[in-house]
Structure 1
Amino acid sequence: MGNYQWNWHVIFEEVAGTNEHYYQWLLSGLGWTVAVALSAWVIALILGSLIGTARTAPNKWLAGLATAYVELFRNIPLIVQLFLWFFVLPEMLPQAAGDWMKQSMPLPEFFTAMVGLGLFTSARVAEQVRTGIMALPRGQKNAGLAMGFTLPQVYRHVLLPMAFRIVIPPLTSEFMNVFKNSAVALAIGLTELTFQMRQITGEYAPSNPIEVMTIVSVIYLILAFSVNRLMALIERRVRVPGYISGGK
């Protein structure tokens, strides 16, 4: 490394054999990373909230199914789940549906990564939501029922608003993890940021690949920091004194 010639302008060089520049590939990868991460987070937050709520329901069958969902998607590695969604599922469906998924579905890598990452993260979000609900005093639920609310109304208007305030810090970590876990999507061919980095430093390697890898690392750091600051702002605005996410 002592003789290594640093060149931070390497990303502005033209990719060998093309009319494009390295920074254009990285910007394209960044766009796909943000798109798949945000889409997966929407799925994870909505589905995870429903599953987490179901885990605290008095109906044992509903709670059991929700628990099985969490254990299934939380304990199978993400990369394995993506392979199953992308390569195995089309072969298990009726031929017409399988052929559509493999040949006619628009952006199959993107939608597979979005769904796979969303379901994987939803199991983790569900645990955070369940923990938040269970951390609330039992009296809040009983008070809601005593006021004439139905059980769904108690969850909607009393328990969930408080629970989400409590679990914002762990949800921040899950939101950050979505961006980092999106890198696994390169395994099914999504040209996200890590895919572009590996392509640049591999097949189209410039004379200074270390700089490219460093720049990509900084981009991920900026994404994570931005998410952290956004969630911290939300936490300050909605925190409730006396609970985990707020001060006494």
Structure 2
Amino acid sequence: MTDSSLQTWLDQHGLVLSVLWDPLDRSRLLEGLGLTLGMALTCGVASLLIGALGVAAQHSPRPWLRGLVNGYVALWRSTPLLVQLFFLYFGVGALLPLTVGEDGSPVRLLGGTGWAMIAIALYSGAFQVEALRAGIDAVPQGIREAAAALGLQGPALWRHILLPLALRNSLPALGNNLVQTLKATSVAYAVAAPELLYAANRIWADRFNVGEMMQVLLVTWLLLIGTCSWLLGRLEARLQLPGREAANGR
């Protein structure tokens, strides 16, 4: 079926699904989807890195470092993501110097997409710190003592023993936080980052097809979240600690 015949059939049924027959609308939606996936991947990796560094700092012998991380976790977990994004974009962003755009006009040093990624990574990282902390607390004391007997301590103990075990202990919580990170990318719409929701908004503003685009958004997000959850479930099953399944079955 050609684009024109598809358009005619959809019009006959009262459906303005221009993303199916209009190349421009389709490309705008796909570009928004690509940015959403790119943001989710970047923020997910960054949040895991923040979580690993944060939980290591929580076990530091330096009180000021532990207090700094605990304060960050408490602040970022206790305030809405949208408020954090506005604070960074309008508050911190206003303090940065402007640069000159291609047309000679002043532009922000960091745009909405960049600030959205920073806000989402910091927000998700706070939850990953707590997930990894619980995973480390679940590492048996006997394993720590055995590692110490073998001469492992300090960074080597964290790199080879504690963090690998904590990651596997925390996989369900970490996976849930990564799914939340994917969903959190939609707040970037508030600062005009051209992600999936923003792209859909541009389309329905031109086509006056809010109902149809809302259905497209719902189906797209269901597919994204479903695929992400399935992949994380497979990863969790593959990396499950030996004996955990038997213990859960008792």
- TM-score scaled to structure 2, two decimals? 0.83
Counterpart in 2 of 1:11?
19
Counterpart in 2 of 1:239?
240
Counterpart in 2 of 1:145?
148
Distance 1:147 1:35, change over 3 A: same
C-alpha distance in 1, partners of 2:229/2:246? 14
Distance 1:73 1:6, change over 3 A: same
1:51 aligns with 2:54: yes
Distance 1:246 1:129, change over 3 A: farther
Counterpart in 2 of 1:165?
168
Counterpart in 1 of 2:125?
122
How many residues of Structure 1 are paired with residues of Structure 2 in the alignment? 233
Counterpart in 2 of 1:133?
136
Counterpart in 1 of 2:7?
none
Distance 1:245 1:78, change over 3 A: farther
More divergent stretch after superposition (183-192 vs 145-154):
145-154
Deviation string, structure 1 residues 1-56 (Cα, Å, up to 9, x no partner):
xxxx5527432354xxxxx5322221111011111111111111101111023223
The structure 1 residue matched to 2:206, chosen from 192, 196, 204, is 204
Unaligned runs of 5+ in 2: 1-12, 101-105
Shift of 1:59: 4.0
- Structure 1 contact 52–128 (Cα < 8 Å) conserved: no
- Output the aligned Cα RMSD: 2.5
C-alpha distance in 2, partners of 1:79/1:135? 33
The structure 1 residue matched to 2:113, chosen from 110, 114, 118, is 110
C-alpha distance in 2, partners of 1:233/1:246? 19
DSSP-derived class of the 1:21 partner: helix
Counterpart in 2 of 1:89?
92
Distance 1:244 1:117, change over 3 A: farther
C-alpha distance in 1, partners of 2:59/2:108? 41
C-alpha distance in 1, partners of 2:210/2:115? 30
Shift of 1:153: 1.4
Unaligned runs of 5+ in 1: 15-19
DSSP-derived class of the 2:151 partner: coil
C-alpha distance in 2, partners of 1:91/1:170? 35
1:98 aligns with 2:97: yes
How many percent of aligned residue pairs carry the same amino acid? 31
Deviation string, structure 1 residues 178-213 (Cα, Å, up to 9, x no partner):
111100001111011111222323x2233x432221
Distance 1:131 1:205, change over 3 A: same
C-alpha distance in 2, partners of 1:178/1:84? 19
The 5 Å alignment of 1:189-200 reads 189-200=192-203
Shift of 1:146: 2.0
